């Protein structure tokens, strides 16, 4: 995910960039309106953070121009507290959201994620998908089309590992360590037992996804094509 920050306050721009990098975003900073607008027009970004009061060209002019040019990148305006009408002005001209300075990085990141989600730039992070299968992490449910089934905590943890490592073979030892821990006294065949439970549930909801055993190595998710 690439984010463009157009902000002339260096310290603020840097602090925002640092916070975003920690969230694994790629960041580019432009500190005047003209450079910011050029960058937004020529490079591809997933989101733009746009200050209002900027040297050379202000945020509203940039916003209007980008919309005229049919740039679809979502834009969050950064407005100062004193600029009371900025919010309305920005939203009227097609900004996706605004945030009032001073803001906490936590709030900013929450807003960014909400806008990215709303504009379909990121998928809901509480749902993991593979083939026709959806794992609802929040409600511990496994879904396939209109079917759904409740799963246990350990089944959820196991499935999460598979869905986060879709194309990898996961070893039984690795799964054992990650889910039951190094010091665990859990039975060595726990992984197998729970995978059997999961396979049963996959069948119950009629999913084409299966956990395939790779002999001598471990397990891998697969999607059956036929049937």
- Burial of 137 (C-beta count, 10 Å sphere; 0-12/13-18/19+): middle
Give, as ranges, the residues between 151 and 210 that touch Ca ion (CB under 5 A). Answer: none
Question: Which residues are within 8 A (CB) of 89 and not within 5 positions of it... i.e. 6 or more apart?
Answer: 60
Report, in Å, the least distance between residue 19 CB and Ca ion: 18
Report, in Å, the least distance between residue 80 CB and Ca ion: 7
- Return the number of the residue (41 or 80) whose C-beta is nearest Ca ion: 80
Q: DSSP letter at 169?
A: P
- Return the number of the residue (8 or 35) whose C-beta is nearest Ca ion: 8
Return the residue matching tokens 């246990």: 152
Report, in Å, the least distance between residue 105 CB and Ca ion: 18
Return the residue matching tokens 């190094």: 182
Report, in Å, the least distance between residue 31 CB and Ca ion: 9
Report, in Å, the least distance between residue 35 CB and Ca ion: 14
C-alpha dihedral sign at 25, 26, 31, 33: negative
- Return the number of the residue (108 or 144) whose C-beta is nearest Ca ion: 108
Give, as ranges, the residues between 63 and 102 that touch Ca ion (CB under 5 A). Answer: none
- Return the number of the residue (57 or 141) whose C-beta is nearest Ca ion: 57
Q: How many chain residues bind Ca ion (CB under 5 A)? A: 3
Phi, psi (deg, nearest 5) at residue 158: -65, -50
- Return the number of the residue (53 or 213) whose C-beta is nearest Ca ion: 53
Report, in Å, the least distance between residue 158 CB and Ca ion: 49
Report, in Å, the least distance between residue 7 CB and Ca ion: 6
Residue nearest to Ca ion according to CB distances in the complex: 53
Residue 186 near residue 180, CB atoms below 8 Å: yes
Give, as ranges, the residues between 2 and 61 that touch Ca ion (CB under 5 A). Answer: 8, 51, 53
Give, as ranges, the residues between 108 and 137 that touch Ca ion (CB under 5 A). Answer: none
- Return the number of the residue (53 or 186) whose C-beta is nearest Ca ion: 53
User: Which string of DSSP letters, residue by residue, matches 23-71?
Assistant: TT-EEEEE-SHHHHHHHHHHS--SEEEEESS-SSS-HHHHHHHHHHTT-
Residue 176 near residue 190, CB atoms below 8 Å: yes
- Burial of 63 (C-beta count, 10 Å sphere; 0-12/13-18/19+): buried
- Return the number of the residue (47 or 77) whose C-beta is nearest Ca ion: 77
Which residues would be at the binding site for Ca ion (CB under 5 A)? 8, 51, 53
């Amino acid at each position: 995910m690439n984010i463009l920050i157009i902000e002339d306050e260096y310290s603020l721009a840097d602090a925002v960039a640092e916070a975003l990098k920690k969230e694994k975003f790629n960041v580019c900073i432009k500190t005047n309106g003209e450079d910011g607008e050029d960058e937004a027009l020529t490079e591809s970004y997933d989101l733009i953070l746009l200050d209002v009061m900027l040297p050379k060209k202000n945020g509203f002019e940039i916003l209007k121009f980008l919309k005229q040019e049919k740039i679809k990148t979502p834009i969050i305006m950064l407005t100062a507290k004193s600029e009371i009408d900025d919010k309305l002005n920005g939203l009227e001209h097609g900004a996706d959201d605004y945030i009032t300075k001073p803001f906490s990085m936590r709030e900013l990141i929450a807003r960014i994620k909400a806008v990215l989600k709303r504009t379909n730039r990121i998928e809901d992070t509480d749902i993991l998908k593979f083939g026709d299968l959806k794992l609802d992490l929040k409600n511990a449910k496994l879904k396939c089309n209109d079917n759904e089934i409740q799963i246990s905590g350990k089944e959820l943890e196991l499935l999460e590992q598979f869905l986060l490592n879709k194309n990898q073979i996961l070893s039984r030892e690795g799964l054992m360590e990650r889910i039951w821990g190094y010091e665990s006294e859990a039975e060595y065949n726990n992984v197998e037992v729970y995978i059997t439970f999961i396979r049963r549930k996959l069948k119950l909801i009629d999913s084409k996804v299966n956990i395939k055993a790779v002999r001598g190595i471990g397990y891998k998710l697969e999607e059956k094509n036929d049937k």
